[in-house]
Structure 1
Amino acid sequence: MRVDYDDVATEDDLRVTYQGELFTGEVVERSPQGQIIALTTHFKGIEDGLSAEWYPTGERKAEGTAHYGMAVGVHEEGHRNGSPATRVECDEQGKMLSRQRWAEDGTPIGSHVVQG
């Protein structure tokens, strides 16, 4: 099921509901022109699965995956010009393993690898 962001509620415990029930499916946010600019997948009200964002002009802004509310795997953000901005890798328990960042011109501006 896919619903619009304006049709869901976020409860105090950060769970997402739709029509009074914990929501399972995709929540999309649209630009004023109607383009999808964000998509988040939920399971029983908790972020679980793919999430992605796009600039209104269509370029990918960010993408990643959550497992029951925790960031897992690779999460990437991009600059508006399409070049990478950040890349974070997390293990299956949500622990950050590494982080890299780049300037808009592609120049590396920092990286961090978690030891042990």
Structure 2
Amino acid sequence: MMSAHRIDIDDPEVTMDEGERLYYRGAPFTGEVVEYQREALVSLITYQDGFENGPVREWYADGTLRSQGTMRDGFPVGESQQWHPNGRLATRTIMSDNGLRQSALYEWDEEGNQTKEWHADVG
């Protein structure tokens, strides 16, 4: 498989329209878009034809994973997670395959104690 084209979100040739479609050098972008803060990689988002489509990962400046999930045509799909700065899981969200409906949400505090559990009514 060919490696994806990668650009920096801060590149002056990156633009975004009102519909949050990303363009690079005037064309809808396909590939990976990264963001750095003081030399540290803090986000990597996969785009297809200008829309978030594929893996999305974010890190704290110290390199600790902050969040990960999957986007399809600009909508979150499947399972995503967020972590507290101390590395403990903060949230786990389950979305429908079309990204329009949340089916479950779990939350934990920084000590790892579950603070919320929610499931959509099925039926």
Cα shift at 1:65: 0.2
| Runs of 4+ in structure 1 over 6 Å off | none
Identify the residue that residue 115 of structure 1 maps to in structure 2: 121
State, as a whole percentage, how many aligned pairs show the same letter. Answer: 34
Identify the residue that residue 78 of structure 2 maps to in structure 1: 73
RMSD: 0.7
Question: Deviation digits for residues 35-68 of structure 1, max 9, x if unmatched?
Answer: 2110111000000000010001110000000111
Identify the residue that residue 31 of structure 2 maps to in structure 1: 25
- How many equivalent pairs are there? 115
Answer yes or no: is 1:82 the counterpart of 2:87. Answer: yes
Identify the residue that residue 41 of structure 1 maps to in structure 2: 46
User: What letter is aligned with 1:9?
Assistant: T
Q: Secondary structure at the match of 1:27?
A: strand
Paired residues of 2:30 and 2:47 also in contact (CA < 8 A): yes
Identify the residue that residue 5 of structure 1 maps to in structure 2: 9
Paired residues of 2:40 and 2:62 also in contact (CA < 8 A): no
Identify the residue that residue 98 of structure 1 maps to in structure 2: 104
Q: Which runs of 5+ in 1 are unaligned?
A: none
Q: Which runs of 5+ in 2 are unaligned?
A: none
